[in-house]
């Protein structure tokens, strides 16, 4: 094979590898328990959600894979999904993790740094819970140190705590890389994004509905919140109607 043909061949391979039409659905939850509350999903409803994703052949991907996909350096499954849990509630770990295991899905737990203690307290998970999650292939990332509305922060020391200390704490305790954040209340403005980058986060998620694809701004990822009035089945049928080719 001449070098000219080899180069053309490699270019062809690369263009196939990195120009795919994959989209990433990101669904998120808070509590997973039997309590009646708008921020709660009952375990059997959560199982319905996971089953729907399985039937439609969705695959969970890691946040590292997601970040590389947005940079255009990684191929991911056509129907990729991120399943996340905000705030770090113990009930989400107890009830969602075994169900996700059954369907071979991995989750992302965006935790509030200051609520994570050596023992479970106030319904929040413990450090031991997070260590177990990481050991079993789930991801733990930042939901800030104290759940402050980032769009309202003024003083530098608050940025340091909300974005820096939480990262140092989780990285030190869990031996992971903290590079993603879900913004409390989904709240963000123009001055927040440079701060997120300054503290070495490469991925951020709002609460704006929508699918993520190669054109998504890494700091403005979309997520769909699952609830009793918005189950995964409804979310998928909405996207199937609007993006039929995504389901082929």
State the minimum distance, in angstroms, from the CB of residue 203 to Zn ion. Answer: 17
**Which of 28, 159 has the CB closer to Zn ion?**
28
State the minimum distance, in angstroms, from the CB of residue 21 to Zn ion. Answer: 32
Site for Zn ion contains 224 (CB under 5 A): no
**Which of 58, 124 has the CB closer to Zn ion?**
124
Task: Compute φ and ψ for 171, nearest 5 degrees.
Answer: -65, -40
**Which of 79, 223 has the CB closer to Zn ion?**
223
Q: Among 149, 140, 150, which Cα is nearest to 170's?
A: 140
What x-and-dash track marks residues 83-122 binding Zn ion by CB under 5 A? ---xx-----------------------------------
What x-and-dash track marks residues 49-88 binding Zn ion by CB under 5 A? -------------------------------------xx-
Show Cβ contacts of residue 226 under 8 Å, excluding neighbours closer than 6 positions.
Answer: 27, 28, 29, 41, 49, 232, 235
Helix residue ranges, H only, 86-225: 90-102, 127-135, 156-159, 166-174, 192-198
Burial class (CB within 10 angstroms; exposed 0-12, middle 13-18, buried 19+) of 62: middle
Q: Among 144, 55, 70, 69, which Cα is nearest to 105's?
A: 55
**Which of 113, 184 has the CB closer to Zn ion?**
184
Contact positions with Zn ion (CB under 5 A) in 163-192: 184
State the minimum distance, in angstroms, from the CB of residue 31 to Zn ion. Answer: 11
Q: Among 139, 129, 134, which Cα is nearest to 90's?
A: 129
**Which of 87, 129 has the CB closer to Zn ion?**
87
**Which of 77, 123 has the CB closer to Zn ion?**
123
Q: For residue 60, what is the enclosing H or E element?
A: strand 59-60
Binding site for Zn ion (CB under 5 A): 86-87, 184
């Amino acid at each position: 094979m001449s070098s000219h043909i080899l180069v053309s061949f490699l270019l062809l391979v690369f263009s196939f590898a990195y120009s795919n039409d994959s989209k990433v659905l990101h669904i998120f939850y808070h509590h997973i328990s039997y309590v009646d509350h708008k921020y709660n999903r009952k375990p059997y409803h959560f199982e319905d959600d996971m089953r729907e994703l399985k039937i439609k052949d969705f695959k969970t991907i890691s946040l590292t894979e997601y970040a590389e996909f947005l940079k255009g350096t990684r191929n991911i499954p056509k129907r990729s999904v991120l399943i996340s849990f905000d705030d770090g509630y113990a009930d989400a770990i107890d009830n969602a993790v075994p169900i996700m295991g059954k369907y071979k899905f991995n989750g992302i737990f965006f935790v509030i740094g200051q609520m994570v203690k050596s023992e479970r307290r106030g319904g929040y998970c413990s450090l031991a819970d997070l260590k177990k999650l990481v050991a079993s292939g789930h991801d733990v990332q930042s939901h800030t140190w104290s759940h402050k509305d980032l769009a309202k922060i003024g003083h530098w020391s608050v940025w340091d705590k909300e974005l820096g200390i939480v990262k140092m704490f989780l990285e030190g305790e869990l031996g992971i890389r903290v590079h993603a954040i879900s913004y409390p209340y989904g709240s963000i403005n123009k001055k927040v994004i440079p701060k997120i980058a300054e503290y070495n986060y490469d991925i951020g998620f709002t609460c704006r509905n929508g699918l993520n694809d190669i054109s998504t701004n890494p700091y403005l990822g979309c997520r769909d919140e699952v609830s009793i009035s918005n189950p995964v089945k409804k979310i998928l049928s909405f996207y199937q109607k609007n993006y039929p080719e995504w389901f082929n």
